[in-house]
A and B are shown apart, each in its own frame.
Chain A
């Protein structure tokens, strides 16, 4: 490990411990300060009584005037520290985790080097984000008393459900070396179609769901065909469909929202015995299926190969076009499922639904350690990425941060995640 990086970690550790110590000290002096303040208040009160008696010309009774005490500079400091105690705890814990984690990782890496054994898999990356997730939860638990309540957990769960499903599909796309910007629009249009079919044409709920998820899959197929058969860059192709589909969403209802769906439909997001049973099962099914496809099916393996080295994949007899179409269809289908979850929960569909959804999904996948250049990544990583994104959003809400800064934070996190990806890539290349 480079020396200055090590120094930074040590500094983090030291500052973190120092902050913690100061905080502990301040906490322990809280009683003393309170005593001093109480004495001051009592003296003030007594003096006021004497003064009042003076004015009224009454002989003050035996008013006992406490001794005069002054708050020392130290006491003032303690008061100040206690005022921001929570924030200090958050900072201290983060710094200690960063410092200790960094140093431990460096030591492990150093040992490995001398042992001559190189990195085996991407398990290190997942480990890193798990630590980040734990630190995040600790921070929020300290910073907000509401965070650890069950109602908040349900809240977080509902918040992330859409991104959860979309990010699973996005994982396929990004592993294959592509990107899908059209997910948000796809959700919006699919949700509106559900509304139109059920409200205007009285199509049965189940049929509606199947048709609309299939429709989302077709939007994905169009993406895949543009990319594989016409060789469009994924970014451009899906940027185009993003705008086309969003436009279509505005057009189908002339910009109007659709309200109040049949009971059978909203029941999907309803609660059974206090928990959102059906949506939980759907999410679980989606991620398990995604994990299974990536690990156990041929096309899942091909997805990695195509993203990792297209010419090698072709030379190994893989049909690139089929694989590319497949991943975008998967992403599309996931959008359909997300539309189902979103519309049933809101009991409405609006053309502006899921605006900017692609950002959250890409962020979750990238934070989960999936490389933007393709060929690397895992469903477990994505799961943790989704949780991190969701919990950060929840935390910012709990702390009363406005929407504007929230977006800025989200963007910042993506940038940082990609920077880490790039650094890791460079490191692994130079170690070759």
Chain B
């Protein structure tokens, strides 16, 4: 079968990072092609190049045998390439038909929209897909699965030849997944080529024809799904050996500092129980959408939890809002540094002390001199590179910003600190500094919970590892040298459910 879409030798550089290093991808007509790799392997970057969100630095794209240039989303659209993102791209207040024909309404003449034809056409597309959705319905009244179908209908209406599906099943229930897979098979029969990105390998085995595996921005291999198995795919995805870039220290764990029992919160956290002891790092691994961050947010009181109990040092604590959690002795370094970790227009000093102002003099007269000396002490201690403590947080580099966030929680004398992706988006040198700060914390008897999508990091730093999948913990393991990335990935993609 001829290659329909080929990306050859694609290179993409970001400042300081080689995101894609001569990556190849070739997709045949009418096949479902899985694009696999760990978080950060470069899958999204590659797809963003294909959909015109990024432009590549080197390489070429062949479409139906001809060389094409994709510089913008319009270029991609002209080639009939569409993407269905994980965060659906619909306007909630408009009807299904209006969304399907967004920006290219069917017109009677220059000024009048041909509503009847538009709604008829939309309904025809939806019926063809076999979805029970009325074109007149407002999108906000639809469930996630149906919204996704509206996106598919939109892709169909522009006669897509290549459809990129980014984690399409993440928000869906099992029954909804079956419906989606039927749709995918139907599209396939029509000759639509699909690129399927998913962390759920069992689904890949079920629906995909071929797979391309990426790792660290490089092309690893491409293969027929029928000729391989789960273990082999995982081995290719993980690949490298762990290097000595983790300054791990081993301490005798102390008594239990945090115990969480059976937490439920929304759809993403379905009965999580875990415990963390002083002097240990509990790693939480899992794939995007597994509910790790949501669990942390529920523990910290950032999002409401439906049920479940939290104990600190054996004492039950009521946490309804972050203030309660801080009082109970929990700190939380969020994954969204700019969105939640820092007040960007404020200087370093004020960001550092934001959670601990009650320790600086009285409420009506803060001791600014004391603040200054504390802040300067931590700027030195954490090696934050800045000309002054008055530098605005928004002007710092990622690594230095992260250190400011860390300082904020170091100042709070917490008993438990949850780190959500503590080293995301910072350079290698700063990463090691962050690990050393975490080490200092456990030396002081703090219990550290580290959520990370980088398996080497989880394995390199944790004393124990809890693995999550679909809002549940599928396994907790001692990191005693026998734990492997393969095993974690196995549990992160459903664990014992594989055999079921």
Contacts and interface: CB of A to CB of B under 8 A. Distances in A.
Interface in A292-319: 295-299, 301-302, 304-305, 308-309, 311-319
A297 B323 contact: no
A94 interface: no
Given A296-B368, A317-B323, A312 B387 contact: no
A317 B344 CA distance: 17
A217 interface: no
B334 to A, nearest CB: 7
B390 A312 contact: no
B366 A298 contact: yes
Contacts of B342: 309, 312
Contact of B366 (A120, A296, A316): A296
Contacts of A301: 350, 354, 357, 366
B365 A296 contact: yes
Contacts of A314: 302, 321-322
Contacts of A299: 363
Nearest to A321: B321
Contacts of A316: 322, 326, 354-355, 408
Nearest to A319: B323
Nearest to B333: A315
A120 B394 contact: no
B332 interface: yes
B363 A297 contact: yes
Given A315-B322, A317-B322, A118 B343 contact: no
B138 interface: no
A312 B302 contact: no
Nearest to A115: B387
A276 B445 CA distance: 63
Contacts of A368: none
B119 to A, nearest CB: 34
A2 interface: no
B422 to A, nearest CB: 15
Contact of A118 (B347, B395, B408): B395
Contacts of A376: 345
A117 interface: yes
21 contacts: A117-B387, A118-B387, A119-B392, A120-B388, A120-B390, A296-B368, A304-B345, A308-B343, A308-B344, A309-B344, A312-B340, A313-B354, A314-B322, A315-B300, A315-B332, A315-B334, A316-B326, A316-B355, A317-B355, A319-B323, A375-B346
Interface of B: 300, 302, 321-323, 325-327, 332, 334, 339-347, 350, 354-355, 357-358, 363-366, 368, 387-388, 390-392, 394-395, 408
Given A119-B392, A317-B323, 10 more contacts: A118-B395, A120-B387, A298-B357, A298-B366, A299-B363, A301-B350, A302-B357, A304-B343, A317-B326, A319-B323
The 10 A-B residue pairs with the shortest CB-CB distance, nearest first, are A308-B343, A317-B326, A316-B355, A375-B345, A317-B323, A316-B354, A309-B343, A298-B363, A311-B340, A118-B395
